[in-house]
A and B are shown apart, each in its own frame.
Chain A
Amino acid sequence: MPGAATFPKGPLQMDIILSGQLLFSALVSGALYALVALGLNLVYGTLRLLNIAHGELVMIGAYTAFWMMTLFAVPPLISLPLAALLCAGLGWLLYFGIFRRLLRNPDLAARVEANSLILFYGISVILQNTTALMFTSSARGYAYLGNVITVGEVSMTGNRLLSLGVAGTLTIGMLLFLRFHIFGWSLRAVIERKEAARVVGVNVDQVQVITICAGFAVAGVAGVLVSMTEQITPFMGFPFTITAFVVIIVGGLGNIPSGILAGFALGFVETYGIALTSASYRSILIYGLFVTVLLIRPEGLFSRAVKS
């Protein structure tokens, strides 16, 4: 066998595939994907903005956690609300600085999707390079909750468990909020029928500003979680933007619950797909799913077809 050009890997034994270890990993990645995609989906759903700079918000969250930890020994758990506030503030600035005006003008609002793509591309480049200028592009990292906790046969690093806890709570919390809270209803109304929502008395402007702030804040929170386990660089955001787009397209653009489900689905496809085939198939599996969904169910894997 050694010396062979390739070394085809047989599937793992069934007991490994059914073990809690893989389930834990799939849940950790899934929850993170769901969380990152949630922010993007909120902003797209309510404002029809294609936020290509979404990953940069994750990066800002990661740097917030890194500097708070390094300079002031403030643990990431406390940086979570800070990063959320910082990113929400950025969302607020963008909304009142740019988008409110664009969305109010019907001509501009009609083109806002395409325009926002270019605008956010610019914002993404500015954020990346400003960060690189301020902090250099050296990779950063810090140690937090690196201890391993073993429950039964499953080993979990403290920071991954925390990441799962926070991301899981936030995504499930958001689902419940949309289902049961009056503001959640308004938000869904704005996503589904903006004009009708306005007619029945929903304050669309208010819903939009809160949603963009919330969407940005969620990305900042995801960044704090990511910073505990990955290296932090000014250019770390782009892969998250791509993953988030894959997730929300698989789930159905603007459909919040489906997007969350799709995030978890992607985590499972990645972990179990690699276990059943090989790590080199990761991209094929993920983009294969993406293309298949676009071909077979372009409205999204978990969406009910929209009747028009």
Chain B
Amino acid sequence: MKRRNFLKTTALAVTLSTFAAITAQAQSDDPVRIGYSMALTGIFSQAAPSQINAYALWAEQVNAAGGLEIAGGERRPVEFVSYDDQSNPANAVRIYEKLITQDKVDLLAAPWGTPMHLAIAPVLQRYKMPMVGNTAASVKLRELEPGYIWFTTSAIPDAMGRELAAFMKAEGVESAAILTNELPYSQEVRSFLIPALEEQGITVSVDQSYPPDIKDMTSVLVDVKSKEPDAVIALSYPADSFLFAGQAKELGVEAPFVLSLVGPTFDSYRKAFGAAVDGVVTAGHWSASQSDWPRAKPFFDAYLAKFGEEPDALDTALSYMSLEILQQAVATAGLDPEQLREAIASGTFETINGEVSFDGVQNAVTPTAWLQIQNSSLEIVWPDSIKTSDFAPKQGW
């Protein structure tokens, strides 16, 4: 009997001490959990990898450097808690509520897309959890109550319309054909571009919208070609950016200024068309060749090494920036949501896209810019303040 008691006590003591040891260790090795929802399936899923890859690369780099620095010098590894929102904003809302209330994650990262960001903003507000947004762009973002959400992008349609018209004017464009996908972002850009062109005295010779599922643009492009505009502006999405490039090349639609809105920043676009798409202008405000941003090139190289393709200059860059900002804010303010919110709202951050600080929900530093494919690389060609190369008129396809 005695012996059995002794064994029991010893076992208990050993168990307890092991427990204590584990708990003590947990203080520093316990990972910081970062939650997000992502459109892994459904209509937006094609965009997910460019964002998830940025997150994965960031986490790998942070963990390799000994973990995420938390105010006070402590470092803890990071891990993600993520769910598929099936490209449905209502699911994103439920997921962020679950991440905050049930999973009790330490930090939040952004989902993909404008509709998701708009949908979860009230959730962040309600639970007072800060989140740096990334892959969203719409003038509607400005209507959000500032406080717990910020956006790294400077590709907001009103500024884009204004800057594009000024850019075209500066390059001597006098007439333009505009082809617009019926999806909201393209339509929003168009609605600001048309009055801006008018203001700059640029004639709009063709103005056509087309559905996202278009499979043949020949008749539209034949019309464009017959008008011989100086600029062909395709406010396109990835699928129709491929269609536009292929068919504009086939028909020999030649204009010195050719723009395709979303798609040319994809590695696959340049792989599919090679030298034919040299000279195409596209939306974006990041380039690996901007030497004023010391973090840009190392990010590009690390991404290329890890994934075997170039980062998307739009979504991947925005996503990575959002985590750089979060990382630097945590280093100064720690994990307390209120202090973190304060740090993000008032701080200035070093990112792959240069210095960033926020005014309300918006990136107050990065100018709205335009990229051009030059020798299969993306160069910033507008505005002068951050350009990495001069605009070169497109020489055929």
**Does A146 make an interface contact (CB < 8 A)?**
yes
Cβ A3 vs Cβ B309 within 8 A = no
Cβ A141 vs Cβ B242 within 8 A = yes
Contacts A143-B271, A146-B249 known; A25 to B45 CB distance under 8 Å?
Answer: no
**Does B146 make an interface contact (CB < 8 A)?**
no
Cβ A142 vs Cβ B272 within 8 A = yes
**Does B347 make an interface contact (CB < 8 A)?**
no
Give complex CA distance A138, B41 in Å: 12
**Does B216 make an interface contact (CB < 8 A)?**
yes
Cβ B214 vs Cβ A279 within 8 A = yes
Cβ B219 vs Cβ A271 within 8 A = yes
Stretch at the interface among B27-35, B74-82, B205-213, B348-356: B205-213
Query: What is the 8 Å Cβ interface bit string for chain A, positions 3-17, against chain B (1 contact, 0 not)?
Result: 100010100110010
Cβ A231 vs Cβ B216 within 8 A = no
Write the chain A residue with the least CB distance to B397: A148
- 16 A-B pairs, CB-CB below 8 angstroms? A9-B206, A9-B208, A137-B40, A137-B45, A137-B49, A139-B46, A143-B272, A157-B246, A160-B246, A229-B246, A231-B239, A270-B216, A279-B208, A279-B209, A280-B209, A282-B211
Cβ A280 vs Cβ B222 within 8 A = no
Cβ B268 vs Cβ A139 within 8 A = yes
| Those 10 A-B pairs whose CB atoms lie nearest each other, nearest first | A141-B272, A279-B210, A275-B219, A25-B218, A7-B207, A141-B268, A157-B250, A2-B204, A138-B49, A2-B198
B200-252 interface (Cβ within 8 A of A): 203-204, 206-211, 213-220, 222-223, 226, 238-239, 242-243, 246, 249-252
Cβ A274 vs Cβ B266 within 8 A = no
Write the chain A residue with the least CB distance to B176: A2
Residues of A within 8 A of B208 (CB): 7, 9, 278-280
Write the chain B residue with the least CB distance to A144: B272
For residue A190, give the distance in angstroms from its CB to the closest CB of chain B. Answer: 33
A14-53 interface (Cβ within 8 A of B): 16, 19, 21-22, 25-26, 28-29
**Does A121 make an interface contact (CB < 8 A)?**
no
Given B204, B226, B276, which contacts A146 in the complex, CB threshold below 8 Å? B276
Cβ B250 vs Cβ A155 within 8 A = yes
Query: What is the 8 Å Cβ interface bit string for chain A, positions 264-285, against chain B (1 contact, 0 not)?
Result: 0001001110110011101100
B358-390 interface (Cβ within 8 A of A): none
Query: What is the 8 Å Cβ interface bit string for chain B, positions 271-299, against chain A (1 contact, 0 not)?
Result: 11110100000000000000000000000
Cβ A2 vs Cβ B272 within 8 A = no
For residue B49, give the distance in angstroms from its CB to the closest CB of chain A. Answer: 4
Residues of B within 8 A of A297 (CB): none
Write the chain B residue with the least CB distance to A128: B41
**Does B158 make an interface contact (CB < 8 A)?**
no
Most chain B CB neighbours (cut-off 10 Å) among A2, A232, A283: A2
Residues of B within 8 A of A280 (CB): 182, 208-211
Give complex CA distance A204, B43 in Å: 40
**Does B269 make an interface contact (CB < 8 A)?**
yes
A146-B276, A230-B243, A274-B220 are known; give 12 further A-B pairs, CB within 8 A.
Answer: A1-B204, A9-B206, A9-B208, A128-B41, A132-B40, A137-B45, A231-B242, A231-B268, A233-B46, A274-B216, A279-B217, A280-B211
Give complex CA distance A1, B214 in Å: 26
Q: How large is the interface on B (under 10, 10 to 19, 20 to 34, 35 or more residues)?
A: 35 or more
Residues of A within 8 A of B250 (CB): 148, 155-157, 160
Residues of A within 8 A of B43 (CB): 235
**Does B195 make an interface contact (CB < 8 A)?**
yes
Residues of A within 8 A of B218 (CB): 21-22, 25, 271
Give complex CA distance A141, B218 in Å: 21
Residues of B within 8 A of A155 (CB): 250-252
Residues of B within 8 A of A275 (CB): 219, 222
Give complex CA distance A79, B38 in Å: 34
Given A12, A128, A137, A232, which contacts B222 in the complex, CB threshold below 8 Å? A12
Residues of A within 8 A of B219 (CB): 12, 16, 22, 25, 271-272, 274-275, 279
For residue B80, give the distance in angstroms from its CB to the closest CB of chain A. Answer: 16
Most chain B CB neighbours (cut-off 10 Å) among A22, A231, A283: A231
**Does B134 make an interface contact (CB < 8 A)?**
no
**Does A100 make an interface contact (CB < 8 A)?**
no
**Does B50 make an interface contact (CB < 8 A)?**
yes
For residue B178, give the distance in angstroms from its CB to the closest CB of chain A. Answer: 9
Residues of A within 8 A of B238 (CB): 139, 231
B304-345 interface (Cβ within 8 A of A): 309
Give complex CA distance A28, B246 in Å: 13
For residue A74, give the distance in angstroms from its CB to the closest CB of chain B. Answer: 16
**Does A288 make an interface contact (CB < 8 A)?**
no
For residue B250, give the distance in angstroms from its CB to the closest CB of chain A. Answer: 4
Residues of B within 8 A of A13 (CB): 226
Give complex CA distance A293, B383 in Å: 54
Give complex CA distance A138, B251 in Å: 28
For residue B53, give the distance in angstroms from its CB to the closest CB of chain A. Answer: 8
Given A2, A29, A128, A156, which contacts B215 in the complex, CB threshold below 8 Å? A29
**Does A136 make an interface contact (CB < 8 A)?**
yes
Residues of B within 8 A of A194 (CB): none
**Does B197 make an interface contact (CB < 8 A)?**
yes
Given B204, B206, B209, B268, which contacts A140 in the complex, CB threshold below 8 Å? B268
Give complex CA distance A271, B217 in Å: 8
Query: What is the 8 Å Cβ interface bit string for chain A, positions 124-141, against chain B (1 contact, 0 not)?
Result: 000011001000111111
Write the chain B residue with the least CB distance to A282: B211
Contacts A139-B46, A141-B242, A157-B246 known; A2 to B216 CB distance under 8 Å?
Answer: no
Cβ B242 vs Cβ A229 within 8 A = yes
Give complex CA distance A41, B276 in Å: 38
Contacts A137-B46, A279-B220, A280-B211 known; A3 to B242 CB distance under 8 Å?
Answer: no
